[in-house]
Structure 1
Amino acid sequence: MEQENAILALAALAQSTRIETYKLLVRHEPDGLPAGEIARALAVPQNTMSAHLNILSRAGLVTSERRSRLIVYRADMLRLRDLTLFLVKDCCGGDARLCTPLIAELIPCCPPQKVSS
């Protein structure tokens, strides 16, 4: 990820409704949520939520798909990965011991899945 893209994404998340929206969408992966449900869940007027979703979309953090009359939004998990890697890639200056606590915190969130043979 280039620095300009990281700045755009971080700026989009630097507002309480947008970060709560993004966290909600991450929790609802891979199905996503319709815009109206997002607005109701966060008690935000639909037109205000639309503006927030547009900002997140322009930053590349969410995608949308029309399903009949609904627009369903999803968190772009690859973009989240890229942003996270951008922020921590050089965090340890080559010393893996410095990043070990961070990695330990992330693993319980998303334990590796066992591969069936």
Structure 2
Amino acid sequence: MDYDGALLAFAALSQGTRLDTFRLLVSNEPDGIAAGDLARKVGVPQNTMSSHLAILSRAGLIIGERQSRSIVYRANLATFQALTIFMVQDCCGGRREFCEPLLESLTHRPAKSRKSKTRA
């Protein structure tokens, strides 16, 4: 991922509804969620959700696929991985001892620091 792509992705994720939506999609991989169901789960009107989905899609963070009369959205895990790698690539100047806590936390599910507005 390049610098501009990272900025676009972070800008897309810097709004609460979009962050909640992306996290919900990640947790529902590989099945994805239909746009209408996303709007209901996140608690926003469908037209508002459409705007958020367009922003996430332009940033390459989600992919929509038409299935019959609805569009099912999935997280683009390749972009998410590239963004994560972009952020940690130069972690602590390459000094492994400083990055160990980060690497360790990636292998364990951390406790949620913010109560999500999404409903299962």
TM-score (norm 2): 0.89
How big is the alpha-carbon RMSD for the aligned residues of Structure 1 and Structure 2? 0.6
* 1:66-77 map, 5 Å: 66-77=66-77
| Greater C-alpha radius of gyration | 1
Instruction: Report how many aligned residue pairs link the two structures.
Output: 109
Is 1:85 aligned to residue 80 of structure 2?
no
Per mean C-alpha deviation after superposition, the further-off stretch among 90-99 and 48-57 is 90-99
**Corresponding letter in the other structure for 1:58:** R
Q: Partner residue of 2:33?
A: 33
Is 1:21 aligned to residue 11 of structure 2?
no
User: Secondary structure at 1:7's aligned position in 2?
Assistant: helix
User: Secondary structure at 1:74's aligned position in 2?
Assistant: strand
Q: Partner residue of 1:96?
A: 96
> Shift of residue 91 of structure 1?
1.3
Q: Distance in 1 between matches of 2:94 and 2:50?
A: 42
* 1:58-69 map, 5 Å: 58-69=58-69
Unaligned runs of 5+ in 2: 110-120
Q: Deviations over 1:30-87 (max 9, x none)?
A: 0100000000001100000000000000000000000000100000001000000001
Q: Distance in 2 between matches of 1:54 and 1:94?
A: 36
Q: Partner residue of 1:2?
A: 2
Unaligned runs of 5+ in 1: 110-117
Q: Distance in 2 between matches of 1:8 and 1:79?
A: 11
TM-score (norm 1): 0.91
**Corresponding letter in the other structure for 1:44:** V
Percent identity (aligned): 55
**Corresponding letter in the other structure for 2:101:** P
**Corresponding letter in the other structure for 2:63:** T
